[in-house]
């Protein structure tokens, strides 16, 4: 095997032999007192005495994402910025306007990334999971690997 053929095979393997990135799951859900109807284990919320639980009906999922890109937060750390399809953006705006002052849970791949309190109506979302730049890029890529929601 010539050196050139070996280099071509090595380059092809680097491009195609790596473990493919997995698709992503996303659930953005309201949080409710654990004493009522809910799903999952109690989740501690910073600044609250009692933990809360997921309401169980996410108002946004990975299927609602129109685009994803990496950006930087105010501290310069990588975050994933999501924009949603028009109907999902309207739904998010309606839900957030009705629930100002209440926490939501942002669940990525089954892990609670954060429980921010809704401060205003919104039509987009940042995923701030303490990502490295490479991790944020992998999350962005994984949003493009999922089946597209028919529109």
Domain ranges of the chain: 22-143
Q: What does the pLDDT look like over 69-105, one tens digit per residue?
A: 999 999 999 999 999 999 999 999 999 999 999 999 9
Confidence of residue 30 (pLDDT cuts 50, 70, 90): very high
- Per-residue pLDDT reduced to its tens digit, 36-80: 888 788 998 888 889 999 998 999 999 999 999 999 999 999 999
Distance (Å, rounded) from C-alpha 8 to C-alpha 140? 29
Quick one: pLDDT at residue 17?
Answer: 40
pTM: predicted TM-score of the whole model, two decimal places: 0.77
Rounded distance between C-alpha atoms, residue 83 and residue 122, angstroms: 10
For the cut 60, the answer to whether the pLDDT of residue 5 exceeds it is: no
Q: For the purposes of burial, counting CB atoms within 10 Å of the CB of 132, is it exposed (0-12), middle (13-18) or buried (19 or more)?
A: exposed
How far from 29 is each of 6, 32, 53, CA to CA, in Å? 51, 10, 10
Model confidence band, residue 148 (pLDDT cutoffs 50, 70, 90): low
Other CB atoms within a 10 A radius of the CB of residue 125 amount to: 24
Q: Domain 22-143 falls in which CATH fold?
A: Gyrase A; domain 2 (3.30.1360)
């Amino acid at each position: 095997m010539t050196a050139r053929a070996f280099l071509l095979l090595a380059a092809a393997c680097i491009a195609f032999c790596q473990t493919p990135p997995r698709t992503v799951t996303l659930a953005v859900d309201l949080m409710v007192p654990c004493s009522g109807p809910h799903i999952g284990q109690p989740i501690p919320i910073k600044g609250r005495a009692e933990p809360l639980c997921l309401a169980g009906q996410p108002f946004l999922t990975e299927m609602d994402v129109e685009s994803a890109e990496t950006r930087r937060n105010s501290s310069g750390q990588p975050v994933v910025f999501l924009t949603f399809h028009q109907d999902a953006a309207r739904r998010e705006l309606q839900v957030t306007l009705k629930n100002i002052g209440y926490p939501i849970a942002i669940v990525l791949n089954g892990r609670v990334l954060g429980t921010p309190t809704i401060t205003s109506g919104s039509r987009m979302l940042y995923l701030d999971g303490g990502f490295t730049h490479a991790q944020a890029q992998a999350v962005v890529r994984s949003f493009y690997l999922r089946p597209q929601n028919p529109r």
